[in-house]
Structure 1
């Protein structure tokens, strides 16, 4: 029993005193504190968008950690309520609001052209944004993304 208690204490201490692996940057969008990471440099921006309820680092950590380029920058962000990002007010958001949030993030970063790599539900957000602002999206890579009609088709 003592060994088990010591083990639990060590696990708790490691989680409380663990340092972040990365130094996140933040932007404020509609009162929400949006966390993001970027790596590399160059004019070509590759923005990774994660799935529903997933933080970007957990989704893309292997890609992010192994990325090396002299002419491209790889970035990922956490939507409010995931990862390091915080809501100003917890509420359900529409697809329009989610795609507008993505657009405002890109605008705040002053990127004129991005390649969006989107996983799962993030693909729906990316598609909605690309539909609204095709002049900003220079490429779209959808990974395991369902079509918007999938829920209706399940019925």
Structure 2
């Protein structure tokens, strides 16, 4: 599934390069240097705009994860069953079996759910900071080249 997609992307890149070369060769007599500058400016504008959009989407998703983290997937009944079936690894204690009460199991489960929720929120905060990087870093480059384009048209 990925392999045909890579082939299509490679063919698309080759076609774009061929079109650019043909346009530059045809426009060489008519100010080809300006054409190359325009193509460069538009490519930089496109790349930085895509980076900024991607960062904005990532930031929105991170904020959504902070506001409403994914609920913990394991139910209390599954946790209880797994805890009662867990083999003992403590060899210093006698062979008697230690069983936890329902209340102790519930406290352990609630603590685990709370820790998982906090872990997801911290992961979302980290993702939010990274997404802001994808917005803040290319944005000045985009603004600079946008002004270059506006100044050139005047």
TM range (shorter): under 0.3
Tell me: higher relative CO, structure 1 or 2? Use CA pairs within 8 A at least 6 residues apart. Answer: 2
Q: What TM-score do you get using the length of structure 1 for normalisation?
A: 0.21
Tell me the TM-score normalized by structure 2: 0.21
Higher-helix-fraction structure: 2
The structure number with the bigger radius of gyration is 2
